[in-house]
Amino acid sequence: MFPMDFQSVFSLAKEFLVLIVVFGVLLGYAVIRGNRALITLTLGLYLALLISLKFPYYDAVYRIAGAGEHGAPIVAVLAFAAFAVLATLFFGRLLPRDYAEAYESVPKKFILAALTTALVMALAYNALPATALIDPGASIGALFGPPEYFFWLLLAPLVGLFFI
């Protein structure tokens, strides 16, 4: 119906590859571990953001890791990942486990994965030096990169969690 050559399809997929990979990983995580695990991860990312913004020992961590100017983004992303893992474990202990994972719906997994993808991409562009490590593309940058969108991209997953 809509003839597109292979090159244009490949170029479009390449432009959105990072977004597709992040969504796929998060959806796979939700399928394997369940909705509760993805919700704890989402909440853990928020807590990790708060901790990493005011973490006073980045300079010491950079010196210990021997990270120069080029290694600093890697160390910052790894430190954020460590904060996120610890915060996710924290929320995993707090959230109730009284509902059956087997009865969770697939559409809910898609929605949770999409909300968490938006949060991860917003953090990558506005709070972490992740874009110094990878270049997600101009289209993704136009959606997640502007600082004036950061508040709304942080708020959207919380509102989504409220209604799910």
52-86 pLDDT, tens per residue? 988 888 778 777 777 566 667 888 888 899 999 99
Q: What is the pTM of this model?
A: 0.84
Mean of all residue pLDDT scores within the chain: 85
Say how many CA atoms lie within 13 Å of 55 toward its Cβ. 22
116-141 pLDDT, tens per residue? 999 999 998 888 887 777 777 778 88
Nearest-angstrom CA–CA distance, 121 and 28: 17
Instruction: Return the SS3 of 95.
Output: coil
Residue type, 109: K
pLDDT of 123 reads: 92
Nearest-angstrom CA–CA distance, 10 and 6: 6
**DSSP for 99-149?**
S-GGG--HHHHHHHHHHHHHHHHHHHHHTSGGGGT----HHHHHHH--HHH
